A and B are shown apart, each in its own frame.
Chain A
Amino acid sequence: SAVISQKPSRDICQRGTSLTIQCQVDSQVTMMFWYRQQPGQSLTLIATANQGSEATYESGFVIDKFPISRPNLTFSTLTVSNMSPEDSSIYLCSVEGLAGGPRETQYFGPGTRLLVL
């Protein structure tokens, strides 16, 4: 599987500010995704990061709150805008379409642990 890194690994932020999370893969991948994992809960898909076009957001998530970029096949960013304490979560990127692997298998980065005060 590919090496997937995320920056920062954790952060503590003040409400009203924004944080940009980076996801870097060491090989080109077809699909990149962003998930949120709230404390004690499962993973919820925020959006699919599309290379060269606007991200595709899931119900309940909007571009103004979670702008996403994907400038190439190995890198994506997720911004959490105008943060509130309810945004405190683990944010995870995942990738799909690795060479030699099943088409649908997603591999995850280590996550970014965000605490909003």
Chain B
Amino acid sequence: GESVGLHLPTLSVQEGDNSIINCAYSNSASDYFIWYKQESGKGPQFIIDIRSNMDKRQGQRVTVLLNKTVKHLSLQIAATQPGDSAVYFCAESRDSSYKLIFGSGTRLLVRP
């Protein structure tokens, strides 16, 4: 196997519980945020995004919360399943820029 995520912070949750993965971003000018999921041996997979004019957005089993006051982003996964085990990255896009700046990532482990 490959070594992506070996040295990342790890969140361990029981199958069926809710998971919350947190991310702090650096630039108050960032106006677009994305959460990615990266499974072993694969590229990052888009999960959900949010713009800075919103503070909450929901998808299927996932919710992203944005707190611009403290520059904090979180990803909530409801009823966590074994297939959710992966490394999760937040990314920010700065005003009028195509560049994505990635956070350091969190490994999610789901216990059966």
Contact = CB atoms under 8 A, between A and B. Distances in A.
B is a partner of A: yes
Interface of A: 1, 4, 31, 33, 37, 39-45, 48, 90, 92, 96, 102, 104-111, 113
A96 B44 contact: no
Interface size class of B (residues with CB under 8 A): 20 to 34
A111 B46 contact: no
A104 B5 contact: no
Chain B facing A: main interface SS: loop
A110 B38 CA distance: 10
Contacts of A48: 98-99
Interface stretch (B10-18, B60-68, B77-85, B100-108): B100-108
Given A42-B102, A104-B32, A109-B43, 16 more contacts: A1-B46, A39-B6, A40-B3, A40-B4, A41-B7, A41-B104, A41-B105, A42-B103, A43-B44, A43-B102, A44-B102, A48-B98, A48-B99, A96-B98, A102-B49, A105-B34
